[in-house]
């Protein structure tokens, strides 16, 4: 009986994965709604004031999904290890959109707090990273424990767990991916202090389960030293603005709150270069001229960030999907405006774009609308391929539509 059960499990997992790797799930909006299960206790540990703190996470699952072994993404918010929350604007839109693509997504709370009244700012800031690093590992273990002991409440595949972090969350994520040896823990900290015990895994909870991950993405984070990285690290995707004044783009001095010097760190550019040297599967999206986490304030950068995350993760989940580190237009979700065969390229665009029309639309009145529905450009289509100058339009996301048939259109990103 035990052998039969084992064989069924071995054959069922590849079958489930094949069913999910149809080229749409994990790449397009295949679900129109989701359920958020908030404030699930996943662990506890001592904060920087030596107070025991319970830690919670929110889980997002797609409504109407019949799959029971789905890829899981665990997100960590930003906020300089002093601010931010698991329901912050830097992570919630990504959580919701990835869920509608078919992922199960968790957004975690982790211990915040840095002692600013100290002459050793490097030490207290490093302690904050270690606390967050330990908390993220406990969250990973929480889901594997749930699979083993609670019947897999969230319907995940424990071999398909991915991490994503923004700013401070990017620090946590990168260290979870690269720091895997006790000897790599900074030797200037006291690991017998409350909240720092437990070695590389920490004592936040769910001991006895693996904290291994299958891949990660980092948005505007950094790592203390790329020397932690090795050829055995998981695949990684990095995003960073070249003019980031909060977290260095390359190897440079980190300032707390952009004012207090902390320590030298290796930003995403140094991380990506090291990943290339090691032969790791990786992508790096450079946001030229942009500052810190532009996806939170610019629709075009959010659209690009979401697209490349989807490209990267879908490749890791599904062997039949090739790695693509560039922007890909994500087809509209079922709860949004449907599209037809209008094609725009390049997309995203900066100045000139070309619009390809099906023959049936020759002579139709076309329009470019912003996200508020305002018409910013209109013209009568006289050719099957139209050339447009969009350089005067502000950066953002637009819809190119047939004016009298607003259900016919495509998305245009200008940056």
Whole-number pLDDT of residue 18:
63
Contact assessment for residue 199 and residue 149, using Cβ atoms and an 8 Å cutoff: no
- In whole angstroms, what is the distance from residue 117 CA to residue 124 CA? 10
Residue 46 to residues 132, 142, 182, 199, 256, Cα–Cα distance (Å)? 12, 18, 21, 15, 22
Q: Are strands 52-62 and 34-46 parallel, antiparallel or unpaired?
A: antiparallel
- 312 Rama sector, left if φ>0, alpha if ψ -120 to 50, beta otherwise: alpha
Read off the tokens for 53.
């703190």
Residues of the chain under the 50 pLDDT cut:
1-13, 15, 333-340
Does domain 2-317 fall under CATH 3.30.530.20? My reply is: no
pLDDT tens profile 354-399: 887 766 566 778 888 876 678 888 888 777 677 888 888 888 878 8
* CATH numeric code, 343-414: 2.60.40.1930
Could you tell me which residues come within 8 angstroms of residue 400 by beta carbon, excluding any fewer than 6 positions away? 342, 344, 355, 366, 367, 368, 409, 410, 411, 412
Whole-number pLDDT of residue 196:
98
pLDDT tens profile 296-330: 988 889 999 999 999 999 999 999 999 999 999 88
Domain extent listing, the chain: 2-317, 343-414
Read off the tokens for 33.
């709604």
């Amino acid at each position: 009986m035990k052998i039969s059960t084992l064989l069924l499990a071995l054959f069922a997992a590849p079958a489930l994965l094949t069913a999910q790797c149809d080229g749409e799930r994990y790449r397009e909006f295949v679900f129109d709604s989701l359920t958020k299960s908030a404030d699930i206790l996943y662990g506890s540990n001592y904060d920087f004031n030596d107070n025991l703190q319970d830690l919670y996470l929110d889980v997002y699952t797609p409504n109407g999904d019949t799959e029971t072994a789905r890829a899981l993404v665990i997100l960590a918010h930003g906020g300089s290890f002093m601010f931010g929350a698991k329901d912050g604007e830097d992570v919630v839109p990504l959580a919701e959109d990835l869920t509608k693509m078919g992922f199960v997504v968790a957004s975690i709370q982790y211990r915040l707090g840095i002692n600013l009244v100290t002459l050793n700012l490097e030490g207290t800031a490093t302690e904050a990273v270690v606390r967050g690093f330990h908390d993220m590992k406990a969250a990973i273990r929480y889901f594997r424990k749930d699979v083993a002991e609670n019947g897999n409440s969230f319907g995940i595949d424990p071999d398909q767990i991915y991490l994503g972090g923004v700013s401070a969350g990017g620090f946590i994520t990168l260290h979870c991916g690269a720091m895997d040896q006790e000897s790599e823990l900074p030797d200037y900290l006291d690991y017998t202090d409350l909240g720092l015990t437990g070695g590389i895994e920490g004592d936040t909870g769910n001991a006895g389960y693996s904290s291994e991950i299958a891949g990660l993405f980092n948005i505007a984070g950094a790592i203390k030293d790329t020397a932690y990285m090795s050829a055995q690290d998981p695949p990684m995707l990095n995003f960073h603005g070249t003019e980031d004044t909060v977290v260095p783009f390359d190897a440079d001095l980190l300032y707390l709150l952009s004012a207090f010097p902390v320590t030298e760190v290796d930003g995403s550019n140094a991380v990506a270069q090291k990943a290339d040297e090691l032969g790791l599967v990786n992508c790096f999206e450079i946001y030229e001229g942009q500052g810190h986490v532009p996806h939170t304030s610019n629709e075009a950068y959010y659209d690009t960030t979401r697209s490349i995350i989807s490209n990267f993760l879908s490749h890791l989940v599904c062997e039949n999907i090739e790695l693509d580190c560039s922007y890909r237009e994500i087809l509209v979700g079922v709860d949004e405006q449907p599209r037809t065969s209008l094609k725009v390229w390049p997309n995203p665009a900066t100045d000139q774009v070309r619009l390809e029309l099906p023959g049936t639309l020759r002579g139709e009145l076309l329009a470019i609308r912003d996200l508020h529905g305002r018409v910013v450009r209109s013209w009568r289509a006289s050719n099957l391929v139209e050339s447009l100058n969009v350089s005067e339009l502000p950066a953002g996301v637009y819809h190119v539509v047939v004016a009298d048939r607003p259900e016919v259109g495509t998305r245009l990103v200008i940056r």
